[in-house]
């Protein structure tokens, strides 16, 4: 029988969990070197010892010389990477002679040995957790360290996603029989992580589903940063002379004192979760003088951390605005991570979302591990639909520091694929290359290099030869797969993917990208009973005029992508089904002729609600494209929604409304069209005219 586990490899703590087959609930394994199931992410290399000490034993043996918080250093290229984490990695290697990757591997090796001893046999598969915004290099380094230690890694999962899943399997606080839009707010030891999830319950024999709509993380806003604020404000002024003396002796002594002081600050932080005041005591060793410092008041601590908490709330608001979620749309806010024990943080979140929506487990620091165990277990694993956390871009050939977006963040990984056209720029050349990066900037240097695709032809090609290059994100979203062929003959080219440094000086070969104008068109179509059970069935007519519009746009040489949303009465908590943006009129035709039908009801169709549900899909429209929304219904709108209109305006969508006018002129639809520089057409007499008008505006050509 498969033996699957989940592993939370944290900045300050680790834990391993598995699902109890009898109860169906995940449980934390009580490993050697743990304290109530938690293994401190601390390792000590002792002189003359073959194996390092890990966890509680390392802490108790010689904390000053032990190595902590290695996780944020994974994936740092010591030669080229800048920033605090890279500097720590360089210093660690210089002073201790130990590479970060080796430290992580040794910790993973200890966890595997302890897990195998606890279970009586080695696990057959494992899910490893990573921060929501971990870089591709960090994700690869984490996987490689675990695999080199012997772990059979299935895949990686974002920590806040794992924690959200755990909440539905370990508590009864949230009604799991109905759908939920939920936010996971995770302040762990090293990072602040956030995820927006849509939970759909199991209504038959299938698994429950979690769809990720947004995720974000920041390594500068974790629990360690809160410890530093206590040290800087309450401890450093009193220890200035001691720290200067230590630094004069050696950098190593200074760093050891700094580490011990941060540990004292962390203990005070934990006490302030329960008390109004916490003592501060600091010692440089077991038998050294104990420095008793003025106590820290909770009110002081809250004042120091207020800017950090405000920054996390601002980031959450930005992500929710991007996908169009309002506070009233969110039914659950799940708190995980030890940092959420701080009363001020919970109070701010409750004031932001409403006290009744905020939930926290009794063991905030175990939820990530418990969720990864659920995902790892074949019998209980939910269906998790992950998204691309960063935008995939290609470097513009000939412009070392400019890149062009290809796949926008928020796109479901299963839909993260695209075909682009490029052109050979040199006569008699047989090889070209393109560089890819992940990030939100149009400047190449601000993003993270992902890889290079080298395209090779078996024979030299002429200048201007068009090439079709197809890109698809793989697995965890940290690598790509690429294929290429000659556009005219279909002959395939060899494609080699390379990982190397992304210096601006790297040559991208002699190639030009396709610079055709682009447009993204979303069709929001009412498919309730009245749209197909009527004297004049509208859905076949919509398919016909939609294909005609797509053909006109394609003939004009415009690169068009289409999304289709069908809606009606709610089913399983949702009133809309979204098919994401995909290229080509043939795709549009197939989608329009295979629209899922919703049952009709006595109420007006929920056009604005369906539009709000489709905003996450609309948010994945290409940055460089002009954007259109076509809303088609035979019923008036229920309500006006100012926020939706503002979202469409902000994101550059023009709205074309095709709805009744003669007997049921709808002011809400008219206002939406006017607000977004669109137009309102009458469904009964102007259906074809509406699609023709859109084609004219996009192509600049007048219909005959």
Higher pLDDT, 57 or 78: 57
- In words, the CATH class of domain 4-221+305-385 is alpha beta
Percent of the chain at pLDDT above 90? 35
Give the pLDDT band of residue 505 (cuts 50, 70, 90): very low
pLDDT at 418: 84
Determine the average pLDDT of the residues in 237-255.
83
Beta strands at 417-424 and 511-513: parallel, antiparallel or unpaired = antiparallel
Among 678, 599, 680, 609, CA closest to 639: 609
Among 269, 272, 339, CA closest to 309: 339
User: Cβ distance 654 to 676 under 8 Å?
Assistant: yes
Give the pLDDT band of residue 217 (cuts 50, 70, 90): confident
Q: How many residues does the chain have?
A: 704
| Own/partner long-range contacts of 33-37 (Cβ < 8 Å, ≥24 apart) | 33/57, 33/110, 33/114, 34/114, 37/366
pLDDT at 484: 92
Among 648, 688, 652, 651, CA closest to 669: 648
pLDDT at 504: 43
- In words, the CATH class of domain 518-699 is alpha beta
One DSSP character per residue, 497-546 reads EE-----TT----SEEE----EEEEEEEEE-SHHHHSSSS--HHHHHHHH
Please check the confidence at residue 616 and state whether its pLDDT lies above 80. Answer: yes
Q: Express each pLDDT in 115-155 by its tens digit.
A: 999 999 999 999 999 998 888 888 889 999 999 999 999 98
Instruction: Report how far residue 593's alpha carbon sits from residue 585's, in angstroms, rounded to the nearest whole number.
Output: 12
Please check the confidence at residue 77 and state whether its pLDDT lies above 70. Answer: no
Domains of the chain: which residue ranges? 4-221+305-385, 416-513, 518-699
Please check the confidence at residue 60 and state whether its pLDDT lies above 50. Answer: yes
Q: Express each pLDDT in 642-695 by its tens digit.
A: 889 999 999 999 999 998 876 556 788 989 999 999 999 998 889 999 999 999
Domains 416-513 and 518-699 agree in fold: no
- Measured on CA atoms in the order 128, 130, 136, 138, is the torsion positive or negative? negative
Kindly list the distances between the CA atom of residue 211 and the CA atoms of 203, 357, 519, in Å, as whole numbers in the listed order.
Answer: 16, 19, 27
pLDDT at 522: 96
| Kind and range of the H or E run holding 669 | helix 667-675
Please check the confidence at residue 502 and state whether its pLDDT lies above 50. Answer: no
Structure tokens at 632: 């088609």
pLDDT at 39: 92
Instruction: Sort 148 into a burial class: Cβ within 10 Å, 0-12 / 13-18 / 19+.
Output: middle
pLDDT at 286: 59
Helix (H, G, I), strand (E, B), or coil: what is residue 213? strand
**Hey, what CATH topology would domain 416-513 get?**
Substrate Binding Domain Of DNAk; Chain A, domain 1 (2.60.34)
Q: Express each pLDDT in 156-202 by its tens digit.
A: 999 999 999 998 888 888 888 888 999 999 988 878 899 999 998 87
pLDDT at 654: 96
Higher pLDDT, 669 or 433: 669
Please check the confidence at residue 472 and state whether its pLDDT lies above 80. Answer: yes
| Kind and range of the H or E run holding 607 | helix 607-618
The whole-chain average pLDDT of the chain stands at: 85
Determine the average pLDDT of the residues in 607-626.
88
Determine the average pLDDT of the residues in 385-398.
85
Structure tokens at 337: 């991570």
Instruction: Sort 294 into a burial class: Cβ within 10 Å, 0-12 / 13-18 / 19+.
Output: exposed
Instruction: Report how far residue 680's alpha carbon sits from residue 635's, in angstroms, rounded to the nearest whole number.
Output: 14
Give the pLDDT band of residue 604 (cuts 50, 70, 90): low
Please check the confidence at residue 483 and state whether its pLDDT lies above 90. Answer: yes
- Measured on CA atoms in the order 678, 684, 685, 687, is the torsion positive or negative? positive
Please check the confidence at residue 474 and state whether its pLDDT lies above 70. Answer: yes
Kindly list the distances between the CA atom of residue 319 and the CA atoms of 313, 437, 575, in Å, as whole numbers in the listed order.
Answer: 10, 21, 23
User: Cβ distance 188 to 364 under 8 Å?
Assistant: no
Q: Which residues pair with 15 in a beta bridge?
A: 8
Helix (H, G, I), strand (E, B), or coil: what is residue 384? strand
| Kind and range of the H or E run holding 88 | helix 84-96
Give the pLDDT band of residue 397 (cuts 50, 70, 90): confident
pLDDT at 248: 86
Lowest mean pLDDT among 398-412, 419-433, 444-458: 419-433
pLDDT at 602: 42
Please check the confidence at residue 599 and state whether its pLDDT lies above 70. Answer: no
Q: At what angle do helices 667-675 and 642-650 cross, to 10 degrees?
A: 20
Rounded (10°) CA dihedral 635, 639, 643, 647: 0
Q: Which residues pair with 519 in a beta bridge?
A: 560, 626
Structure tokens at 622: 């290409």
Lowest mean pLDDT among 93-107, 238-252, 463-477, 502-516: 502-516
pLDDT at 601: 46
Spell out the residues 6+ positions from residue 111 whose beta carbon is closer than 8 angstroms to its own.
7, 9, 14, 16, 31, 39, 54, 149
Structure tokens at 274: 């329960």
Spell out the residues 6+ positions from residue 198 whose beta carbon is closer than 8 angstroms to its own.
179, 180, 181, 182, 210, 211, 213
Determine the average pLDDT of the residues in 445-464.
86
Q: Express each pLDDT in 257-304 by its tens digit.
A: 888 888 889 899 989 989 999 999 888 765 567 888 999 999 999 999
Q: In what order do the strands lie in the sheet with 180-187?
A: 358-360, 332-336, 180-187, 192-200, 209-218, 383-385
């Amino acid at each position: 029988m498969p033996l699957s586990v989940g592993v939370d490899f944290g900045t300050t703590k680790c834990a391993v969990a598995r699902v109890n087959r009898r109860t169906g609930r995940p449980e934390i394994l009580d490993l050697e070197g743990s304290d109530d199931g938690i293994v401190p992410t601390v390792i000590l290399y002792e002189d003359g010892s073959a194996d390092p000490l890990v966890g509680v034993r390392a802490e108790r043996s010689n904390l000053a010389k032990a190595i902590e918080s290695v996780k944020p250093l994974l994936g740092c290229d010591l030669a080229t990477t800048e920033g605090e984490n890279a500097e720590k990695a360089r210093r660690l290697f210089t002073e201790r002679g130990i590479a970060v990757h080796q430290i992580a591997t040794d910790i993973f090796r200890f966890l595997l040995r302890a897990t195998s001893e606890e279970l009586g046999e080695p696990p057959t598969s494992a899910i490893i957790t990573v921060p929501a915004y971990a870089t591709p290099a960090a994700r690869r380094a984490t996987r490689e360290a675990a695999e080199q230690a012997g772990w059979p890694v299935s895949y990686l999962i974002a920590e806040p996603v794992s924690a959200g899943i755990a909440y539905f399997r370990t508590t009864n606080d949230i009604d799991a029989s109905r759908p939920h839009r939920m936010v996971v707010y995770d302040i762990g030891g090293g990072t602040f992580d956030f995820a927006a999830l849509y939970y759909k319950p199991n209504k038959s024999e299938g698994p429950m589903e979690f769809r990720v709509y947004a995720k974000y993380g920041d390594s500068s806003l974790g629990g360690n940063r809160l410890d530093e604020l206590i040290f800087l404000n309450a401890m450093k002024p009193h220890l200035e002379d001691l720290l200067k003396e230590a630094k004069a002796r050696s950098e190593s002594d200074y760093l050891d004192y700094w580490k011990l002081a941060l540990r004292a600050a962390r203990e005070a932080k934990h006490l302030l979760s329960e008390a109004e005041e916490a003592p501060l005591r600091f010692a440089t060793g077991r038998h050294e003088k104990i420095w008793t410092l003025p106590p820290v008041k909770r009110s002081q601590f809250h004042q120091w951390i207020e800017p950090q908490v405000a920054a996390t709330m601002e980031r959450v608001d930005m992500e929710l605005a991007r996908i169009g979620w309002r506070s009233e749309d969110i039914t659950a806010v799940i708190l995980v991570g030890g940092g959420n024990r701080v009363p001020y943080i919970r109070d701010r979140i409750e004031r932001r979302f409403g006290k009744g929506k905020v939930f926290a487990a009794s063991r905030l620091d175990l939820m990530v591990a418990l969720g990864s165990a659920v995902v790892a277990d074949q019998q209980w694993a939910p269906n998790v639909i992950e998204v691309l956390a960063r935008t995939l871009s290609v470097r513009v050939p000939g412009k070392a520091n400019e890149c062009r977006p290809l796949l926008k963040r928020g796109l479901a990984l299963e839909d993260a694929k695209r075909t682009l056209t490029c052109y050979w720029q040199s006569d008699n050349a047989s090889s070209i290359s393109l560089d890819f990066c992940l990030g939100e900037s149009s400047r190449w240097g601000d993003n993270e290099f992902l890889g290079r695709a080298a395209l090779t032809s078996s024979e030299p090609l002429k200048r201007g030869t068009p090439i079709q290059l197809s890109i698809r994100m793989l697995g965890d979203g940290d690598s790509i797969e690429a294929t290429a062929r000659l556009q005219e003959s279909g002959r395939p080219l060899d494609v080699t993917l390379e990982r190397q440094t992304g210096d601006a000086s790297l040559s991208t070969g002699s190639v030009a990208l396709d610079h055709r104008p682009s447009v993204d068109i979303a069709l929001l179509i009412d498919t309730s009973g009245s749209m197909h059970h009527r004297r004049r069935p509208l859905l076949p007519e919509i398919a016909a005029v939609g294909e005609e519009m797509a053909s006109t746009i394609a003939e004009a040489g415009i690169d068009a992508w289409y999304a289709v949303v069908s809606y009606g009465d709610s089913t399983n908590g949702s009133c809309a089904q979204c098919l994401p943006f995909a290229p080509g009129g043939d795709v549009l035709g197939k989608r329009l002729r295979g629209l899922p039908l919703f049952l009709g009801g006595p109420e007006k169709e929920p056009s604005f609600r369906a539009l709000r549900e489709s905003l996450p899909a609309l948010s994945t429209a290409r940055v460089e494209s002009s954007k259109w929304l076509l809303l088609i219904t035979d019923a008036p709108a229920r309500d006006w929604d100012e926020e939706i209109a503002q979202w469409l305006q902000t994101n550059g969508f023009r709205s074309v409304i095709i709805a009744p006018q003669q007997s049921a002129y709808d002011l809400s639809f008219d206002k939406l069209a006017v607000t977004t520089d669109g137009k309102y057409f009458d469904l009964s007499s102007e259906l074809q005219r509406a699609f023709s008008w859109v084609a004219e505006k996009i192509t600049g050509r007048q219909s005959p």
